[in-house]
C-alpha cells in the first residue's frame, strides 16, 4: 500500500497522485479507505473532483 499524506482539508496525496475532493468529509472517507485497501478500489468508492500526477519535484504534472 502507498503512503498517504494529507495536504489540505480537501486534498490527499497517495503515492504519485494528489486527489482533490469537494468536501473535507469526502476526503476523510477516501483517506480512511486507502489506509485499509488499494487506492484503485477507493477511487471507485469515493470519486474525487480531480486526480493530479505529481512529478519528482512535487509539482502537479497532469490532471485526471
Separation between Cα atoms, residue 51 and residue 64, nearest integer Å: 5
Cell of 34: 486507502
pLDDT tens digits, residue range 21-64?
A: 999 999 999 999 999 999 999 999 999 999 999 875 555 555 55
Confidence band of 11 (pLDDT split at 50, 70, 90):
very high
Based on the number of CB atoms within 10 Å of its own CB, is 29 exposed (0-12), middle (13-18) or buried (19 or more)?
Answer: middle
pLDDT at 3: 83
What is the rounded distance in angstroms from the CA atom of residue 53 to the CA atom of residue 57? 11
Query: 55 is in which domain, residue-wise?
Result: 4-62
Instruction: Report the pLDDT value the prediction gives residue 55, as an integer from 0 to 100.
Output: 76
The pTM of the full predicted model, rounded to 2 decimals, is 0.82
Number of structural domains found in the chain = 1
The three-class DSSP label of residue 3 is: coil
What pLDDT is attached to residue 40?
A: 94
Cα–Cα dist 59/5, whole Å: 15
Amino acid at each position: 500500500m502507498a503512503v498517504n499524506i494529507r495536504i489540505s482539508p480537501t486534498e490527499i496525496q497517495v503515492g504519485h497522485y494528489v486527489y482533490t475532493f469537494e468536501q473535507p468529509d469526502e476526503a476523510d472517507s477516501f483517506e480512511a479507505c486507502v489506509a485499509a485497501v488499494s487506492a484503485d478500489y477507493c477511487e471507485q468508492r469515493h470519486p474525487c473532483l480531480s486526480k493530479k500526477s505529481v512529478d519528482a519535484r512535487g509539482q502537479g504534472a497532469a490532471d485526471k
